[in-house]
Amino acid sequence: MFKKILVANRGEIAVRIIRACKELGVRSVAVHSDADADAHHVRLADEHLCIGPAEPALSYRNIPNILSAAEITACDAIHPGYGFLGENAHFAEVCESIGIKFIGPTSENIATMGDKSNARELMIRHGLPVLPGSEGEIASEHEAAAVAAKIGYPVIIKASAGGGGRGMRVVNKEEDLAHAFQAAKAEAASAFGDTGLYVERFFLEPRHIEVQILADERGRTISLGERDCSIQRRYQKLIEETPSPAVDDRLRRELGRVAVEVAQAVHYRNAGTVEFLLDKDRRFYFMEMNTRIQVEHPITEEVTGIDLVKEQIKIAAGMSLPWKQQDVKINGHSIECRINAECPEKFTPSPGRITRFHPPGGPGVRVDTAIETGSEVSCHYDSLIAKLIVHGVNREESLARMRRALDECVVEGIKTTLPLHRRIFDDPDFQKGRFSTSFLERFFAAYSA
């Protein structure tokens, strides 16, 4: 096992990793920006070190400073969490080259699956189900138009290096394609420094289903059930749940089997998530693989009893998975709400000081957060301030627990998405599990009517 782990992140995921380290008897080192000098994760860690000013590029994405911090504090491993350097193949490669264990997949895994068009080509070669579209990157508007004409409109143009909904444009008709192509290309260049694009068929009202996998250093790979992430705005997830109301046992086994095949096709190691689109006829298609721990990992932990962050650390330390696929059982139902520091109507950021924070509690309620009364929500970082997670014996109990927990939760001093979550959980269609990725569009239209 490692002696000391540097946590190359901030906020709730940094707190989550530090807690896992404590339970494993491993010392932790928190790095922080000037703005986070008094942050919760800094106070929880065994040691801490400032790595730069508030701007992420100068601190949490500053690879030389992070590696220097690891050297100064004699860390033998680094956990990147999600965001920042969580899927940075170069960072993972540098860690590998200097003998510091990167707690996550290999740099080759990240590079292969991080290029979405290459990942798509690889899945096609392995005979796995993918969305109809281009077989690789498209070089021009003319090539995009030819693919679109072949597979039929609507289509979606995506950045090869994409993520978080950036570098994506839906095109409903041919005359709109040229403008969408250029817009996606410009956004991809700005967000990722990469102008590569590819085209896929765009399905109306699909489900967004993802499957959690774990793979040890010896190649044993298991799936841990699916998560339904369909409640999202502009490709940003707001609510996740497991099991999905749209997935039965047979489909769950098939999704898990394919997710494991995807991971094994690239000799994947550590935790990862394989993302699928599920159409109205319950056919599923590979979209991409996220080569990191996901924001929504707690709901999988709740229904499986498996601590994913501790397993990440154990796998990176060379330990074998103690389970076979038949050992994985899904118990009950879990839902997560992402509580963001945003205006619940316009989704504009709402930084500032939290004057009062009262988290909910009681049976089956978990809150993953790094905030407390007096915390300052910075404009420099992601707006996620807390994850509210519930677990019940079935979906009905989970819904009731989440409504109760949302009512108990108090955040004052800034605006949050709590009012929006409360309205969604009162929606009849959501309560009955009748939703798709377009749910929020209809929800807002009905709410404003």
Can you tell me the mean pLDDT for 17-42?
Answer: 98
Alpha helical stretches, state H, 277-417: 297-304, 308-316, 395-408
Counting every residue written for the chain, the total comes to: 449
- Name the strand (E) or helix (H) holding 5: strand 4-7
**Residue 425: CB partners within 8 Å, gap ≥ 6?**
399, 402, 403, 406, 431
Both structure tokens of 435? 């939703």
pLDDT level of residue 300 (50, 70, 90 thresholds): very high
Query: What are the E-state strand segments in 41-189?
Result: 47-52, 77-79, 101-102, 155-163, 166-171
Predicted confidence at residue 445, as pLDDT, reads: 84
DSSP codes joined into one string, 279-292: -TTS-EEEEEEE-S
Separation CA 272–CA 212 (nearest Å): 6
Helix (H, G, I), strand (E, B), or coil: what is residue 90? helix
Of 201, 252, 292, 401, the catalytic one is 292
Is residue 420 scored above 80 in pLDDT? Answer: yes
Is residue 219 scored above 90 in pLDDT? Answer: yes
Convert the pLDDT of each residue in 94-138 to its tens digit: 999 999 999 999 999 999 999 888 898 899 999 999 988 888 889
Does the fold of domain 207-448 match that of domain 4-103?
A: no
Per the DSSP assignment, residues forming a β-bridge with 5 are: 28, 77
**8 A C-beta contact, residue 405 and residue 360:** yes
Delimit the domains of the chain by residue range: 4-103, 132-201, 207-448
Q: Catalytic site residue 292?
A: yes
For the full predicted model, state whether its pTM sits above 0.75. yes
Q: For tokens 């949302």, what's the residue?
A: 406
Predicted confidence at residue 449, as pLDDT, reads: 58
Helix (H, G, I), strand (E, B), or coil: what is residue 301? helix
CATH class of 4-103: alpha beta
pLDDT level of residue 69 (50, 70, 90 thresholds): very high
pLDDT level of residue 345 (50, 70, 90 thresholds): confident
Separation CA 306–CA 300 (nearest Å): 8
Is residue 320 scored above 80 in pLDDT? Answer: yes
**8 A C-beta contact, residue 149 and residue 141:** no
- Angstrom distances, CA of residue 292 to CA of 31, 75, 225, 277: 19, 20, 17, 19
Return the half-sphere exposure (C-beta side, CA atoms, 13 A cut-off) of residue 127.
0
Return the half-sphere exposure (C-beta side, CA atoms, 13 A cut-off) of residue 59.
21
**8 A C-beta contact, residue 210 and residue 274:** yes
Both structure tokens of 147? 């693919």
Separation CA 395–CA 403 (nearest Å): 12
Task: Specify the pairing of strand 4-7 against strand 77-79.
Answer: parallel
Predicted confidence at residue 194, as pLDDT, reads: 85
pLDDT level of residue 293 (50, 70, 90 thresholds): very high
Can you tell me the mean pLDDT for 1-27?
Answer: 98
Of the candidates 377, 372, 335, the one whose C-alpha atom is nearest the C-alpha of residue 243 is 335
Percent of the chain scoring above 90 in pLDDT: 87
Predicted confidence at residue 189, as pLDDT, reads: 87
Is residue 51 scored above 70 in pLDDT? Answer: yes
Of the candidates 242, 218, 219, 220, the one whose C-alpha atom is nearest the C-alpha of residue 230 is 242
Neighbours of 127 (CB within 10 A): 9
- Angstrom distances, CA of residue 181 to CA of 155, 162, 163, 166, 225: 11, 14, 17, 13, 36
Q: What does CATH list as the number for 132-201?
A: 3.30.1490.20
Is residue 447 scored above 90 in pLDDT? Answer: no
- Kindly report the average pLDDT of the chain as a whole number: 95
User: Which of residues 160 and 314 earns the better pLDDT score?
Assistant: 314
Amino acid, single-letter form, for residue 306: I
Q: Does domain 207-448 have CATH number 3.40.50.620?
A: no
Is residue 448 scored above 70 in pLDDT? Answer: no
DSSP codes joined into one string, 159-216: EEEEETTEEEEEE-SGGGHHHHHHHHHHHHHHHHS---EEEEEPPSS-EEEEEEEEE-
Predicted confidence at residue 38, as pLDDT, reads: 95
**8 A C-beta contact, residue 366 and residue 389:** yes
Convert the pLDDT of each residue in 358-388 to its tens digit: 999 999 999 999 999 999 999 999 999 999 9
Of the candidates 42, 55, 184, 67, the one whose C-alpha atom is nearest the C-alpha of residue 116 is 184
Q: What are residue 332's phi and psi, to 5 degrees?
A: 80, -155
Is residue 42 scored above 90 in pLDDT? Answer: yes
Convert the pLDDT of each residue in 141-195 to its tens digit: 999 999 999 999 999 999 988 676 788 999 999 999 999 999 999 998 887 888 9
Helix (H, G, I), strand (E, B), or coil: what is residue 89? helix
Percent of the chain scoring above 70 in pLDDT: 99
